[in-house]
Amino acid sequence: MHIFVAGFQHETNTFAPTCADWTAFQSGAGYPESTHGAAMLARMGGTVLPMGGFIRAAQARGWTLQPSLWAAATPSAHVTREAFEHIAGRIVDDARAGGFDAVYLDLHGAAVAQHVDDAEGELLQRLRAVIGPDMPLVASLDLHANVTARMLQHTSAMTAFRTYPHVDMAQTGARAAGLLADVASHGPLHTHHVRLPFLLPLNVQCTLMAPAAGIFEALAHNPVALSFAMGFPAADFPECGPVVFGHGRDPAQVQAAVDTLAAQAVALRPAWRLDLLTPDAAVEQALKLCADGPVVIADTQDNPGAGGDGNTTGMLHALQRAGAGQRWPGQVALGLLHDPAAAAAAHTAGVGATLDLSLGRSVRAFDGRATDPPLHCTARVVALSDGVVTLNGPMTAGNTATLGPCARLDVQGVQVLVSTAKTQMLDLDLYRFLGVEPMAMKLLVNKSSVHFRAAFAPIAAHILVAQAPGPMAADPADLPWRHLPPGLELRP
């Protein structure tokens, strides 16, 4: 078969402060840079991303791939109109050339553009209009996809990640190849879906822990091609929320499997709860935990993987108030703090220099209030980097982060890692590239929600989750929603 392949990845927090323009997709930051044509196959084929898994599975089947555009940007507020139209226009225009038998799209499933709420559904509808109603079209999705009616209508089948942290991205791409082969060989599949009646906070979606672990264990052993897209609970449009969906040859079997799994998720409502600490309480608890291995605190509400900009200072102020750096000099670290001005000043001054700096920013939080003020401090420049970081973690192996000039600053014993571009702290190498060995630290503060657990859980003695002010609400009920449908509950 000849397969048309393309990708569009963005997770949109409609309450976040910064939009994703085409420049954000071109650079990629924590993702590979946007690529088109044959260069896309070369760039993506060795990655652990869904497109990489699909490429390898397709090559093993002897398929010929016809590449279009693959583009991803760090989660943020809306995709700009210009960026979406450029991406969708390029993909659809390439498809008009024809010459292929089927289509695979590497999608996130939670993109919202400035002018289109359901960005993936819009792209799929435009593409379906070009390829016709009968051509097989299969998509892979992120576990946090907000699955819409148009997405289900215009695809032959979809499959979502089954892990959070996402360590099965390549396997999901390969699974999509299997679904595509099935549809191409045996015709359309039956599809059924159920939308859950409540939103799920990101922190409880972690599949390393109950209740999500049990749900996905049951899903993986079902003969139906089941997916549980748990939703990205910060996209203010009517189809935000968790969806269970499945595909198969026997419609009764598909419906029974989807209905059973959805009922199981609803029945576990008491278990879908949050356990959050204030910044000061998290640091105080961490300082009392003397153990082999670091204590890790997740700065979840400033997670660049969920629409934060990685620049708030609530946890940094809490570390200073508690004197954490004086207690464990050089063994407390925070990363990555997105602060281009501080990184530039450190590079101008050089290693060993002492600078008076204003670190971080006060930004608009999800509730409209300002976050903590910048930290005015004296900092010593410990290390510098150009920010090109080869990643080797469970989620990131084969990827390269391009973060621009970066620096490690010593602020009263706390090692603050500042970057020019933003990405969440999901890999040990994002500390190591500036000379911080995570396993030698007493306390690590990670700007991340859950993804960090893939790399850090094996070395962490304890993991705490802090609710410092930021753009991403840990509890969806705290958000000022305007467009959710009547009856959808904000908490399980």
- pLDDT the model gives residue 396: 86
Where in the chain are the domains?
2-271, 279-474
- pLDDT the model gives residue 479: 94
Helix (H, G, I), strand (E, B) or coil at 2: strand
* pLDDT tens-place string over residues 273-307: 888 999 999 999 999 996 778 999 999 999 998 98
Cβ pair 80, 113 in contact under 8 A? yes
Instruction: Give the integer Cα–Cα distance in Å for 200 and 215.
Output: 14
Q: Which long-range contacts (CB under 8 A, 24 or more apart) does 388-393 make?
A: 389/429, 389/430, 389/433, 390/429, 391/427, 391/429, 391/430, 392/427, 392/428, 392/429, 393/426, 393/427, 393/428, 393/429, 393/454, 393/455
Q: Bridge-partner residues for 149, per DSSP?
A: none
Residue 273 CB: number of other CB atoms within 10 A?
12
H/E element, 53: helix 50-60
Which structure tokens are listed for 416?
């603050």
- pLDDT the model gives residue 265: 97
- pLDDT the model gives residue 275: 80
Q: Rounded to two decimals, what is the model's pTM?
A: 0.91
Give the total residue count for the chain: 492
Cβ pair 247, 224 in contact under 8 A? yes
Q: Tokens 């400033």 label which residue?
A: 302
Helical packing angle, 119-131 and 81-96, nearest 10°: 20
Residues 6 or more apart whose CB falls under 8 angstroms from that of 292 comprise 461
Which structure tokens are listed for 332?
């407390």
- pLDDT the model gives residue 307: 87
Helix (H, G, I), strand (E, B) or coil at 176: helix
- pLDDT the model gives residue 273: 85
- CA 181, distance to chain mean position in Å, is 28
DSSP per-residue string spanning 86-153: HHHHHHHHHHHT---SEEEEEE-SB--BSS-SSHHHHHHHHHHHHH-SSS-EEEEE-TT----HHHHH
Instruction: Give the integer Cα–Cα distance in Å for 222 and 225.
Output: 7
Instruction: Give the integer Cα–Cα distance in Å for 311 and 359.
Output: 8
Residue 199's Cβ-count burial label (10 Å; 0-12, 13-18, 19+) is buried
DSSP per-residue string spanning 290-340: --SS-EEEEEGGG-TTTT--S---HHHHHHHHHTHHHHSTT-EEEEEEE-H
- pLDDT the model gives residue 64: 98
Instruction: Give the integer Cα–Cα distance in Å for 488 and 464.
Output: 29
Instruction: Give the integer Cα–Cα distance in Å for 255 and 214.
Output: 20
Domain 2-271 carries which CATH code? Answer: 3.40.50.2300
Ranges under pLDDT 70 in the chain: 290
